[in-house]
Amino acid sequence: MKSFLKIAVLVMAVAGLSACVQDLNTKPIDPNSSTSFNQDRMFTKCYSCLAVIGQSVPGDDSDVEDLDAGTSGFYRMIWYCNDLTSDEAWWIWKDKEQPDILETSGWNGETKSIPGIYTRLNLDVKYCNHYLTYASKETDEDKYRYAEVRFIRALHYYYLMDMFLYAPLITTETNEYPHFVPRYKIYDWLVQELKDLIVELPAQRVNKYRVGKAAAQLLLARIYLNADVYNKYNPEWAAGSALEDALATATATIEDNKGIHDLVTESIQVDSAFSYSAYQRLFMGDNHRDDVIKESLLQIYQDGIYSQSYASTLYLIAGPRNAGLNAWGIESEWHALRTSPTLIDKFLSPMNISRTTATEEIVLDEFKMPARLHDDRAIFCSDSMNTGDKFLLSGPMGLGENKNFFESWGGMKFTGVYSEYRPSESPRQSTSWPDTDIPFFRLAEAYMIQAEAHFRKGQVGEALNIINNTIRKRANADPLQDLNEEILLDEWCREFWFEGRRRIDLIRFGRFFGREADQYRYHWEGRMNKMDMPPAVMSPFFVSGTPEYLNWFPVPSIDKRANPNFKTDVEGDPNNTFASQGGDGYVY
């Protein structure tokens, strides 16, 4: 039981800060309405924003109104925006939020799910600003806490920068209407903020659920790697100018933290016939163990008793499961979340296996599949076992029918099972809620950033060496013999599938939307009237090609209309290509 945080997750409300936000820009919440400032509780509130939806758990009283409470949490909304919009995943339930994400016709400022992440991110920033306004910095512990909350705020601004072309940048408490700045100015602020935090955060985190300097290093390395995306409309930017910084910062993340953060390489043998790989252990119910959590530079706390949430690992565990499959540590089974056949292709192609062959000949559960595909990361189930259905690898499908769940293999990466037990024998604190933490930042990303930076510098041998001798070696995967952009992008997918980052990588490689991306045939099921990319005949973008603005999301229309600064800020930016189209290309 991870009991040292149990009080922290449940009692962190400060009067006035627990109010819901519908329209941040019309009138921001006044944090000064708090009758008192409790530094300990407010500190915990800032961390808990990553783990739970609001002041009570699990499915009510969300901090974000006008949205299904279970989907309104930080992690689930980040995941929806980055994975359900990509070629990795599909959600078959007919919930009102998922179709908005799955089909590009839902990407507008009037829908709920995409504006919901905008509201969530800005609201959490307000919590952080409130803490930073009133918190003491007298002791070393006070100073560490202050730096950690600055990091949490920077993390939220990273996602605002990544997901929106324009966003408010507010670093103090205010009741004024916020101004909007282009993402490249947020980039500049973030780079300096994270450089400062690398110095101010503790060299070694205070406890396993608080961040140290390694988290700031990795976030900065990620930002540098994606710098050309965020600075595309920066007139002073030279493409590729942050590549050396990405390499140096990723290397520092690895070298500066040796002995504190290392890749998990130890498997666990349960008995003579059953074991869990090192990779699988990262996503299990006891991934808070010291020998596993060392790979996570930021691990988001989950506990079946003390932090119940529909917006964290529960949906990744229950979503892909159906009655009749192997035990997964809890009883909840949703048969809602499925992989895309394109994700499965990433593991079939290196083995020269076609989808037809795989469907006909490979009938294995998630514990035998990795050996068959020579990759511990292939944690998929194609064995229907006692479900009465057959797993296929077909193309587009509909919503709301259980049969659609079986049109691709089950993605069983996350589980509530503990690593020292067979699945059916694993203990659990709760029958309905998992203990599986979210490994939000993993050291493996630093190695992949290193490899990509070397690759883009023309140093293919160095890139191959890193991938083969760290990433693929840990996965017991056959070494790559060559490397090009497609293989590199596929390796990002193989390592991090279902971890809420796919869209970010696709955009960096020019594979998401826009004319550059149209030449590639990625399998966006349902996003273009259930047709593949590039734009097919039934697509509204058949003639014109997909618009570039789909590479980011719309600022909510209500914020654009209500905030008098928005239009001024957008039209006042001489470099804004989309000034006549709502500032970000979306009509409002």
At 501, the pLDDT band (50, 70, 90 cuts) reads very high
For residue 536, the model assigns a pLDDT of 62
Strand 337-339 versus strand 296-300 pairing type: unpaired
Alpha carbons 360 and 353: distance in angstroms, whole number: 11
The average confidence (pLDDT) of the chain is: 88
How many Cα atoms occupy the beta-carbon half-sphere of 386 within 13 Å? 5
Q: Which residues contact 196 (CB under 8 A, 6 or more apart)?
A: none
* Dihedral-angle region of residue 586 (phi above 0 means left; psi in -120 to 50 means alpha; beta otherwise): beta
Tokens of 588: 């409002």
Total-model pTM: 0.93
Q: Is the pLDDT of residue 483 over 70?
A: yes
Q: What average pLDDT does range 246-259 have in this prediction?
A: 98
Residue 10, Cβ density class (10 Å: 0-12 exposed, 13-18 middle, ≥19 buried): middle
User: If residue 100 lies in a helix (H) or strand (E), which one and from where to where?
Assistant: helix 97-102
Are 140 and 558 spatial neighbours (Cβ–Cβ below 8 Å)? Answer: no
For the ranges 30-44, 98-112, 311-325, the maximum mean pLDDT occurs at: 311-325
pLDDT in tens, 545-580: 888 999 999 999 989 999 999 989 998 888 888 988
Q: Is the pLDDT of residue 26 over 50?
A: no
At 11, the pLDDT band (50, 70, 90 cuts) reads very low
Q: Is the dihedral of CA 172, 173, 176, 181 positive or negative?
A: positive
> Residue 100 CA to chain centroid, in angstroms?
18
Alpha carbons 500 and 497: distance in angstroms, whole number: 8
The phi, psi pair for 395, rounded to 5°, reads: -90, -140
Q: Is the pLDDT of residue 532 over 70?
A: no
pLDDT in tens, 27-66: 233 444 445 899 999 999 999 999 998 876 566 677 887 7
* Beta bridge partner(s), residue 300: 438
For residue 530, the model assigns a pLDDT of 52
The phi, psi pair for 269, rounded to 5°, reads: -95, 110
Q: Which residues contact 30 (CB under 8 A, 6 or more apart)?
A: 16, 175
Q: What average pLDDT does range 351-380 have in this prediction?
A: 97
Cα angle 162, 32, 23 (rounded to 5 degrees) comes to 45
Q: Which residues contact 348 (CB under 8 A, 6 or more apart)?
A: 354, 355, 358, 373
Tokens of 319: 């979503």
CB atoms within 10 A of CB 96: 14
Amino acid identity, position 22: Q
Residue whose C-alpha is closest to residue 380's, from 363, 395, 404: 363
Alpha carbons 372 and 255: distance in angstroms, whole number: 34
Residue 468, Cβ density class (10 Å: 0-12 exposed, 13-18 middle, ≥19 buried): middle
| 88-92, 171-175, 258-262, 530-534: range with lowest mean pLDDT | 530-534
For residue 529, the model assigns a pLDDT of 46
